[in-house]
Chains A and B, each alone.
Chain A
């Protein structure tokens, strides 16, 4: 089964600091990649996604992510965080399942909690 690793469990930053959250996945074939955000008490929302083309993807609220195929990575970045970015961030990978043909599964990482101090 595929796996998704997020390296940081909890990141604490001051406002205006730069952010980079790591994400690595295990599947060696073609994948679709996502970053979702979950603000406190809310459901998950899409930040950005990569399907193909330019490996540098821009999302909402100034976030961006870079797909590096050789490193199986899809790291999330933001040049200057704000207090309102306090949330939990999830990397997710959509790829074929090991079982039957035509079955695909979205696998999430365990999430990274970001706390931004004003």
Chain B
């Protein structure tokens, strides 16, 4: 089944404790992206990757890192999480930058 998977789905952590949210797609998509969804703010792009060689910042990259060492995986790293990063995070992938993005199920993160 074609899908985007994220792990974990739920995470409660404390300020400053490094964490990684994994994202994997099995559709051989070039483009991958991370978004955060907050009430009243919609989805805001954190980082995106056009392909394994090109990664760029989105609208809200502060406090986040990503890597794209292989096509299928695009982990989101929070080196020192803070409470303002409490949010619902979605990973997405698409064939290329123009195409429909397929979203993962989301990761609900709470930083205490």
Which residues on A are within 8 Å of B, measured CB to CB?
1, 6, 9, 32, 34, 42-46, 49, 51, 90, 94, 97, 99-100, 102-111
Contacts and interface: CB of A to CB of B under 8 A. Distances in A.
24 contacts: A1-B59, A9-B40, A32-B98, A42-B105, A43-B105, A44-B90, A44-B103, A46-B100, A46-B101, A49-B100, A51-B98, A94-B97, A97-B56, A100-B56, A102-B54, A103-B54, A104-B97, A105-B58, A106-B101, A108-B35, A108-B44, A109-B42, A110-B41, A111-B43
Contact of A43 (B33, B40, B58, B106): B106
Main secondary structure of the interface of B (DSSP, over half): strand
B48 interface: yes
Nearest to A99: B56
Nearest to A49: B100
Q: Closest 10 interchain pairs by CB?
A: A110-B42, A108-B43, A104-B97, A43-B103, A44-B103, A111-B42, A108-B42, A46-B100, A43-B105, A32-B98
B104 interface: yes
Contacts of A42: 105
B95 interface: no
A100 B54 CA distance: 11
B45 interface: yes
A34 to B, nearest CB: 7
B48 A105 contact: yes
Interface string B42-62: 111100101000101011000
Contact of A34 (B97, B100, B105): B100
B33 A106 contact: yes
Nearest to A94: B98
A106 B43 CA distance: 10
Nearest to B98: A32
Interface in B6-47: 33, 35, 40-45
A91 to B, nearest CB: 9
A45, A46, A90, A104 pick with most chain B CB within 10 angstroms: A104
B103 to A, nearest CB: 4
